[in-house]
Structure 1
Amino acid sequence: MEYEDAISLLRDILRENIPGHGSLAFSGGLDSTLLMHLSGYNLNPYTVGFRDSHDIKRSEEVSNILGFRLHEIYLDDVKLEDHVEILKNIDGSITRSEIGYELVLSVVLSSTDDDTIVTGQGADELFYGYRRTIESGSNEDQWRKLIDRTLPREKKIAEYYGKEVIAPYLNQSIVKIAMSFDSSYHIRDGQGKAMIRDAARSSGLPEQIYGYKKKAAQYGSGIDRYLKMVNYFSKLI
């Protein structure tokens, strides 16, 4: 398949696999913004973070640029230790870094009335979004971790709240497209997710969206900094 054909197909398959209603775990980054855009702005975007966090500020900026309403969940007002206990009960082997990003999912699931929550899960693993995959030129380890640990755990987290998580990037046709191109197509100028950036550009999103470099959820939301500050990890792990 030619590269440009793959980009068009990637964009079209994503659009077809986004539900017509529901919530979106929205960080203001490339992956979730593309999903919001391709949904026709029909999803309810929820951003999680402390009031002064990167994700809150970036999500507000993106929502203003694209003109949609944003739901903000301020972690300053959330009892995080309750969510930590839920995660520990669901997965007793959960690690420090996993707690950091799964807290975001747990908070969104507990905050929305929608039964379906759309996430950008899989985009980083498939399209070389992590620094380590960019440096090594291989996404195999991150992909295996996603399949073996993260997805089964997140299914249980969603079930705990009586909800369903939908991850359009993990559609089998999209997985096949991503895997059919080697790392040279995914990494451009030292930055990953080139295919998603091209799909975002071709869908009509502006450069300030598709050219933006996102932080991981636990860092962008401020959760990692907070948990270190209160020394949670010495108690939890």
Structure 2
Amino acid sequence: MTADGTTLRGADLSTVREAVASGDPLPGTGGFAGEIDGRLVCDVLGREPLYLDAASDAREWSFDPTDLEEPELLDAGTVVEPDGDRRRVWSLPDLSPETDREAAVDAVRDAVLTSVREPDSDGLAVAFSGGVDSAVVAAGVPDVPCYVAGFADAESHDVDAARAAADAMDRDLRVVAFDHDDIERAVPEIVRATGRSNAMDVGIALPLYFVAERAAADGYDRLAVGQGADELFGGYRKVVDPAEDHRVEADSVRGATREVIGSLPDQLPRDVLTLRAAGVEPVAPLLHDRVIDAALRLPADLLATEAERKVGFRRAVAGVVPDDVRGAEKKAVQYGTYAARELDRLARQAGYKRRMDDHVGQYIDALVAGDA
């Protein structure tokens, strides 16, 4: 049991019991983890991170790795039996592509709209970058405020895109402008919360942290995010022609997309822990089981082509968000907000030059140690 007495998050006991018994990887939840009937469990994508204490023989565990002496992330899809035996119970299903393209898009539309409309608006805000993913999430909760982060001394891509999208959708947008002092303050907090100090993870986490921190200061305790759509629906360039792209091992669009989905269990703990450290609980409607199921059934040409990515997803949300927003391309959050650029600038100003090996990582380590 954790310090706050919580033993299971994300689903009710009966649903998880049935999922353990049947091996159903998509039992209709948004992810779950915790202790049930003496077992520790973590869903198929690790949407609710759970940590074991590798230094303890007493099977100590927590949702917060900072509670433990040597935290070890439990693998997604795993059940740990009372005797300590670990077994992989859930894996992503290998679903055949839907041959009726219209039906495939309709299934995505139904799953996505059901999921984004499900969250209770009370205490909820939306992380809003102006791209189609966050716009769809925002469309599901039309009365809540939207937040975007960007570096203070420049009009970043994400702020520009968010303003245009918010105007088109008639939404309340709150811009969180962060500066170098904010970055220097936040980096050690993010590293302590997530246990990650590499430049990529920290750069991604920074704008999430600033948005969540401002939303929490404004009185919101939950933040809806668009995480998962790029992975599920073919949003990455590397899935377009995987046979020619060294970044994936698969040689088909569907295979590469599945490979990318498989990266979520490593990414999600960073985002979840960052948001919680900033004072909000994440809400990720596009990672619900029903959305995953619909995405896994999309044929290749409704995932990514040379002309377009997230093809089926964009078609599914026609009429839900304005066409200009639906078709917009966006940069990765660390670049669209200038978080990565300014982290690099701070590293160089502190004497960590680009010719040095992992100069930004060395700067992050120095910040955490208080030596920068």
What TM-score, normalized by structure 2, do the two folds share? 0.59
The alignment partner of 2:307 has SS state of coil
Structure 2 counterpart of 1:216, one-letter code: A
| Aligned residue number for residue 123 of structure 1 | 229
Deviation string 1:72-111 (CA, Å, 9 cap, x unpaired) is 0012376112211112112334422111111111111211
Distance 1:77 1:19 in 2: 35
1:45: how far off? Answer: 0.4
| Aligned residue number for residue 105 of structure 1 | 208
| Aligned residue number for residue 48 of structure 1 | 149
Alignment of 1:174-193 (within 5 A): 174-193=291-310
Distance 2:121 2:194 in 1: 31
Aligned CA RMSD, in angstroms, stands at 2.0
Residue 121 of structure 2 corresponds to residue 20 of structure 1: yes
More helix by share: 1
| Aligned residue number for residue 220 of structure 1 | 336
The alignment partner of 2:148 has SS state of strand
Residue 262 of structure 2 corresponds to residue 144 of structure 1: yes
Alignment of 1:86-101 (within 5 A): 86-101=189-204
Determine which structure has greater relative contact order: mean sequence separation of CA pairs < 8 Å that are 6+ residues apart, divided by chain length: 1
Alignment of 1:39-78 (within 5 A): 39=141, 41-50=142-151, 51-76=154-179
Structure 2 counterpart of 1:16, one-letter code: R
The alignment partner of 1:139 has SS state of helix
Deviation string 1:30-79 (CA, Å, 9 cap, x unpaired) is 1011111222x222100000241111111111112222221000123761
More strand by share: 2
Structure 2 counterpart of 1:228, one-letter code: D
The alignment partner of 1:201 has SS state of coil
1:6: how far off? Answer: 1.3
Percent of counterpart pairs with the same letter? 25
Distance 2:336 2:326 in 1: 18
Listed as ranges, the gaps of 5+ residues in structure 1 are none
What TM-score, normalized by structure 1, do the two folds share? 0.89
Instruction: Please tell me whether Structure 1 or Structure 2 has the larger radius of gyration of its CA atoms.
Output: 2
The alignment partner of 1:68 has SS state of coil
Residue 337 of structure 2 corresponds to residue 236 of structure 1: no
Q: Residue 81 of structure 1: which of 184, 205, 210 is its match?
A: 184
The alignment partner of 1:230 has SS state of helix
